[in-house]
A and B are shown apart, each in its own frame.
Chain A
Amino acid sequence: MRALALRTENVLATTALAGIMLLPLAEIATRRFFETGIPGSAPFAQNLTLWVGMLGAAIAARDGKLLVLATGEFLPKNLAAFGHVIGAFVGAAIATIFAVGGWALVHTEREVGDLVALNVPVWMSVTVFPVAFALIAVRLVWRASPHWTGRAIAALGIAAGYWLTAHQEILEGAALWPWLTALVVAGVLGAPIFALLGGIAMFGFFIDGSRPVVPLIKAYAELTSPSANIAAIPLFTLTGFLLAEGKSSERLLRALRGLFGWAPGGTAVAAATLCAFFTLFTGGSGVTILALGGLLLPALLKEGYPERFSIGLLTASGSLGLLFPLSVPLILYGIVAQNVAIEDLFIGGLLPGLLMLGLVAALGVRQALRSGARRLPFSTTQMWAGLWEAKWELLLPVVVLTALLGGYATMSESAAIAALWALIVQRFIHRDLPRMRDVLRVAADSAGLVGGVLLILAVAVGLTNYLVNAQVPTNLLDWTQSHIHSRALFLLALNVFLLLVGTVMDIFSAIVVIVPLIIPLAEVYDINLVHLGVIFIANLELGYLHPPLGLNLLLASVRFQKPVLEVMWATLPMLGILALGVLLITYVPWLTLGILHWMGKVQ
């Protein structure tokens, strides 16, 4: 029975994913041959993206993968168990409030009868809100503790949340700071980030006398926005997950070693490049280390690279792809920043991305020369054989970028092409996914990751709206303008600030929360929005490696079974050289804007 329910959930999420992949492609095809196209293809795809996000969030809660602040890992064991229960209590309370708000939205939409398209009513689409948030609440309670006492305490969160929605007037006109403090403490103890952000928004709205349905109306508008290209996030992530399955990584590694293996440091360069290639799809760099660490570490050791260096290299490489075209964080930045073309971000990130990759590769070459790592004999036939074998994977970015930058397909359509391409290659050409059941598993896994991200996007719209109403960006602007008088100083302050943000927050939450606050500042200090995006992501890339809380350090420690401290020392040289890269990217805008300038896209 439980297995059936879980399966239904996976199948639903996968079907929605398939819908957002196939609808735009079918629309292109039918419009070519018949004038009409598919009625409602765009609004249906937008609403299915909402379903992928919300069902994915429920799956993430089920699998314990909701994004949390990186602080929980460092709590002492007793406190951690206690913190986990408190975090679950608060998370369940906030999720319950959102579920009640979602239910109210279903109710009003039923009365009004707005349509998505054809005869499909909006209320049917928004039903996913109360369902997903209720599931999240229940699952947070279930996972709160292995003991029933812990679960019972966490379950009180559901009751507390429900009680608050029935008595929200007690909050009207109250001060926000006690609630804010409580939420932040819960976040530090391990409450999911969505509860922290959504909770601040919700309490802010309650204090203004607004009902819990308001943030959900905003979330619905954001997640189904036709201009935001949100569908690109699940589709590119699915692409990355499909490629990470099976032997794609081995094929690519052979191809890259054929290309670079003969040169000093060739294998290190190949490893870093391969990591970058994977990260640009999966975005959350942790996936890269987990997926490729097992393949790349032995390869490096075999060639004679010291273990410590190899671990450092792989840990750092885990986030190298974030600046390259198709990177999910770049897309998310474009969505949140609004007035910037994602295509321009792709072009702008190219040189900075290559710079970061080059810096890490340079360390690899130096190490190879020092420790006399083995080189492969150069062989043209081997090189061609490797490239030929990996041709489908290597062609993917070429096809997608040609479609996108050539203006043949929109962002969402390009993402759909990428996902379909990866699916056909992995399922039917290489047969790395031998059964449809494997495809289902991979799709549900990727929906889980995407759900964590889109959940934060959904609740953060309410937060941003609240902050704007409370004039926080305006006040921040005034403060900054009166304290920071030069552009260079502002950039330095930005570097330091983002470094701190990057140590506690994952890249997606950081983008969603911080970007709307920073953009008015950037406009005042005359910083191009593409440049700002690249600075932002380069900085957060660094945050992954920064002691004490960098996410890559923790994941590498798990993957390579080494203490965090050791991984930290191993990564230090990389961190140093990448920090140099970030400074170059920040203070030499030409790196980002040069090509765009040359193309006439920026003045």
Chain B
Amino acid sequence: MSARSFVKRTVLVAALGALVALPLAAQAPVTIRLATGAPVNSAWHKALLDMGAELTAKTGSRVRLTVYAGGTQGDEISTIRMMRPGVDQLQANLLTLGGLSQIDPAFDAFGMPFFFQSDDETLAVLQKLTPMLDQKLEAKGFHRVAWGSAGWVQLFSKKPLRTLAEVKQAKLFTSQGDDRMVQWYKSNGFNPVALSANDIPAQLKLSTGMIDTAPSPPYPALMLQIFRDAKFMLDVHVAPLLGALVITNNAWTKISPADQKVVSEAGAAFERKVLAEAPKLDADSVNTMKTRGLTVTTLDPKAQAEFQAAAEKLVATMRGGMVPADVYDTVVRERDAFRKTKGR
């Protein structure tokens, strides 16, 4: 074989190879490793597994989802770290507000106590803010696939709590990694203890645990058996626990446009399901826990008003320091606008 024909052949083989490889490269399966703190076998875990099955089926296995639930990959701070471009250990995450505000402080607006009064109100404001929040997430390297809600945060405690003064006395859980929040609590007379959310059940169980009170929606309190140690729930509806399913921009761009559409649709279905289920999960969980020894404390109207008044003052102090001023103003404006149109 002459040198020339060798070159010819090589070129030919390479060209053929490229022809075969091109569509293969476009369709190279993308495996998405998803972490979440959502308890194993919870409704959310199951919804994620369903979504994974749907993706496998509808993309012909080109997009595969592996779900690590129950915080086995670490807490939200660590799992977010493992999604960074230089790390790429995980590609997706079902986060709650703690992790989201770790990514961008704008999300802190949804953690303001007693700021929202109903799911409708929250969702209306969330809808208005979605373009801005999505943009902020994109800028940090995350693409949002779905919103979620874990229900309304209540206060679970080892000793009964009835007044704001008692809440301030309590050793209160707050998310690790956000010292501004800790300082905000302290300067308003609270006793915050910053821990990883994964630590809540164990620290409540220990006789000498670092916390005696933890804010949590009822469903996780039931799933994680928090109510066995924190036998009292103060029914005050502190705030809705917002969640979001995010995927790294890196992984997102590896998915073909057609498959992206499938993922987005599956995400929308996930969102509808989770948001629709949330109120029922809240109510059912409280009922179940009550039959297993939980005492629910409801406030009389006077105490409720006292909480509300104090909370409004507290929330006002969050502007600028805790919640970026522009976001704070937008959220207040949108909420008030919603209240006007819908009446109260």
Q: A residues engaging B (CB < 8 A)?
A: 31, 35-37, 39-40, 42-43, 104, 107-108, 111-112, 114-118, 210-211, 213-214, 217-218, 221, 225-227, 338-341, 343-344, 407, 410, 468, 601
27 contacts between A and B (CB under 8 A): A37-B186, A39-B179, A40-B179, A42-B182, A43-B176, A43-B177, A104-B86, A104-B87, A108-B86, A111-B86, A112-B84, A114-B102, A116-B179, A118-B179, A213-B87, A214-B82, A217-B74, A217-B78, A218-B78, A226-B176, A226-B195, A227-B196, A227-B203, A227-B210, A340-B206, A341-B207, A341-B209
Q: What chain B residues lie within 8 Å of A111 (beta carbons)?
A: 84-86
Asked whether any CB of chain A lies closer than 8 Å to the CB of B202, the reply is yes
Closest chain B CB from A522 CB (angstroms): 16
* With contact pairs A112-B84, A213-B86, A221-B74 given, residues A338 and B202 touching in the complex (Cβ less than 8 Å): yes
Question: Is the beta-carbon distance between B186 and A36 smaller than 8 angstroms?
Answer: yes
B2: Cβ under 8 A from any A Cβ: no
Q: Is the CB of B210 within 8 A of A211?
A: no
B288 within 8 A of A: no
- The one of B102, B176, B189 in contact with A35, judged by C-beta atoms closer than 8 angstroms, is B189
Provide the residues of chain A in CB contact with B85, threshold 8 Å: 108, 111
B199 at the interface (CB under 8 A from A): yes
- Which residues from 181 to 210 on chain B have a C-beta closer than 8 Å to any C-beta of chain A? 182-183, 186-187, 189, 193-196, 199, 202-203, 205-210
Question: CB distance B208 to A108 under 8 Å?
Answer: no
**Nearest B-chain residue to A39, judged by Cβ:** B183
A308 to chain B, nearest CB (A): 45
Given contact pairs A211-B89, A214-B87, A217-B82, A344 touches B183 in the complex (Cβ within 8 A): no
Does B169 sit at the interface, judged by CB under 8 A? no
Q: Does B75 contact A (CB under 8 A)?
A: yes
**Closest residue to A46 on the B side, CB-wise?**
B176
Question: Beyond A104-B86, A218-B74, is A226–B196 a contact (Cβ under 8 Å)?
Answer: yes
- In the bound complex, do residue B194 and residue A226 qualify as a contact, i.e. CB atoms below 8 Å apart? yes
Complex CA distance for A338 and B194, rounded to whole angstroms: 17
- A334 to chain B: closest residue by CB: B206
4 nearest A-B residue pairs (beta carbon)? A117-B179, A227-B199, A341-B206, A108-B86
Bound together, the chains give a CA A38 to CA B12 distance in angstroms of 71
Partner of A343, one of B86, B183, B207: B207
A218 to B72, CA, bound (A): 12
Closest chain A residue to B189, Cβ basis: A35
Asked whether B179 lies within 8 Å of A115 as measured between CB atoms, the reply is yes
Neighbour of A43 across the interface among B74, B88, B179, CB < 8 A: B179
Chain A residues closer than 8 Å to B177, beta-carbon distance: 43, 114
Instruction: Check if B183 sits within 8 Å of A210, measured CB to CB.
Output: no
Residue numbers in B under 8 Å from A217 (CB-CB): 74, 78, 81-82, 87, 89
Q: Is the CB of A339 within 8 A of B207?
A: no
Answer whether residue B236 sits at the interface, using C-beta atoms and an 8 A cutoff: no
Report Cα–Cα, A343/B193, bound state, in Å.
19
Contacting pair B179 A214 (CB below 8 A): no
Q: How far is the CA of A468 from the CA of B70 in the complex (A)?
A: 14
* 8 A Cβ contacts from B205-246 to A: 205-210
Shortest C-beta distance, B251 to chain A (Å), equals 14
The distance in angstroms between the C-alpha atoms of A468 and B102, with both chains bound, is 27
Inter-chain CA distance A218–B89, complex, in Å, is 12
Interface string of B252-284 (1 = CB under 8 A from A): 000000000000000000000000000000000
Please give the distance in Å from B194's CB to the nearest CB on chain A. 6
Q: Does B299 contact A (CB under 8 A)?
A: no
Q: How far is the CA of A31 from the CA of B185 in the complex (A)?
A: 13
Q: Is the CB of A211 within 8 A of B88?
A: yes
Chain A residue contacts of B203, Cβ below 8 A: 227
Apart from A43-B176, A221-B75, list 11 A-B contacts with CB within 8 A. A107-B86, A111-B85, A112-B84, A112-B140, A214-B82, A217-B82, A221-B78, A227-B202, A338-B202, A339-B206, A344-B207
> Nearest-CB distance from B69 to chain A (Å)?
14
Of residues B75, B77, B81, B202, which shows the largest number of chain A Cβ atoms within 10 Å of its Cβ? B81
Minimum distance in angstroms from B260 CB to a CB of chain A = 23
B179-A339 in contact (CB<8A):
no
Chain A residue numbers with a CB within 8 Å of B176 are 43, 226
The one of A42, A104, A107, A214 in contact with B194, judged by C-beta atoms closer than 8 angstroms, is A42
A210 and B81 form a contact (CB under 8 A): no
Contact across chains for B84 and A108 when beta carbons are under 8 A apart = yes
B68 and chain A: residue at smallest CB distance: A469
Q: Which B residues are CB-close (under 8 A) to A37?
A: 186
Q: Which residues of A contact B77 (CB under 8 A)?
A: 221
A323 to chain B minimum Cβ distance, whole angstroms, is 19
Instruction: Report the separation of the CA atoms of residues A439 and B282 in the bound assembly, to the nearest whole angstrom.
Output: 57
Residues of B within 8 A of A218 (CB): 74, 78
Q: How far is the CB of B300 from chain A (nearest CB, A)?
A: 29
Residues of chain A lying within 8 A (CB to CB) of residue B179:
39-40, 42-43, 115-118
Contact partners of B182 in chain A: CB under 8 A? 42
Tell me the nearest residue of chain B to A107, going by C-beta.
B86
- Contact indicator B196/A108 (Cβ below 8 Å): no
Q: Is the CB of B87 within 8 A of A211?
A: yes
Is the Cβ of A36 less than 8 Å from the Cβ of B183? Answer: yes
A residues in contact with B87, CB < 8 Å: 104, 108, 211, 213-214, 217
A107 to B140, alpha carbons, bound, how many Å?
A: 15
Q: Which B residues touch A115, using CB under 8 A?
A: 179
What is the CA–CA distance of A344 and B205 in the complex, to the nearest angstrom? Answer: 13
Q: Which residues of B contact A117 (CB under 8 A)?
A: 179
B residues 168-182 in Cβ contact with A at 8 Å: 176-177, 179, 182
A218 to B81, CA, bound (A): 10
Query: Smallest distance from the beta carbon of B191 to chain A beta carbons, Å?
Result: 9
Closest to B188 in A: A35
- The CB with the most chain A CB atoms within 10 A, among B84, B193, B196, B205, is that of B84
User: Are B78 and A35 touching (Cβ within 8 A)?
Assistant: no
Q: A108-B86, A115-B179, A213-B87 are in contact. Are A601 and B207 (CB under 8 A)?
A: yes
Q: When the two chains form their complex, are residues A343 and B208 in contact, meaning their CB atoms are under 8 A apart?
A: yes
Q: Judging by beta carbons under 8 Å apart, are B186 and A410 in contact?
A: no
B74 touching A407, Cβ below 8 Å:
no
Q: In the assembly, what is the distance between CA of A343 and CA of B209, in Å? A: 10
Within 8 A of A (CB), among B2-19: none
> Closest CB of chain A to B310's CB: distance in Å?
16
Residues of A within 8 A of B84 (CB): 108, 111-112
Which residues of A lie under 8 Å from residue B186 when comparing CB positions? 31, 35-37
CB distance from B179 to the nearest CB of A (A): 4
* Cα of A141 to Cα of B102 in the assembled complex, Å: 41
For the complex formed, measure the closest distance between the CB of B231 and the CB atoms of chain A, giving whole angstroms: 16
Query: Measured between C-beta atoms, what is the minimum distance from B8 to chain A in Å?
Result: 32
Taking a contact as CB atoms under 8 Å apart, the answer to whether B208 and A341 are in contact is yes
The residue on A at minimum CB distance from B205 is A339
Q: How far is the CB of A511 from chain B (nearest CB, A)?
A: 18
Which residue of B is nearest A342, CB measured?
A: B208
- Which residues does chain B contribute within 8 Å of A221, judged by CB atoms? 74-75, 77-78
Q: Which residues of A contact B209 (CB under 8 A)?
A: 341
Residue of B nearest to A217 (CB): B81
Q: Which residues of A contact B210 (CB under 8 A)?
A: 226-227, 410
CA distance A211 to B82 in the complex (A): 10
Q: How far is the CB of B28 from chain A (nearest CB, A)?
A: 14
**CB-based contact A227/B195 at 8 Å:** yes
A420: min CB distance to chain B, Å:
21
Could you give, for residues 47-77 of chain B, a 1 whenever the CB lies within 8 Å of some chain A CB and a 0 otherwise?
A: 0000000000000000000000000101101
Which has the most chain B C-beta neighbours within 10 Å: A104, A117, A210, A338? A117
Residues of A close to B205: CB separation below 8 A: 339
CB distance from B166 to the nearest CB of A (A): 18
Contacts A115-B179, A217-B81, A227-B196 given; indicate if A210 touches B207 (C-beta within 8 A): no
Expressed in whole angstroms, the Cα–Cα distance for A214 and B73 within the complex equals: 11
